[in-house]
Amino acid sequence: DVNLTGVFLCGREAAEQMIKTNEGGCIINISSIARAGNFGQTNYSAAKAGVAAMAVTWAKELARYNIRANAIAPGFIATEMTASMKPEALEKICAGIPAGRMGSPDEIGDAAVFLLANDYMSGRIIEVDGGLRL
Question: Which residues are tagged catalytic?
Answer: 44
57-69 burial by CB neighbour count: b if 16+ within 10 A, else e?
A: ebbeebeeeebbb
Q: How many helices (H) and strands (E) does the chain have?
A: 5, 3
Q: In what order do the strands lie in the sheet with 67-74?
A: 25-30, 67-74, 125-128
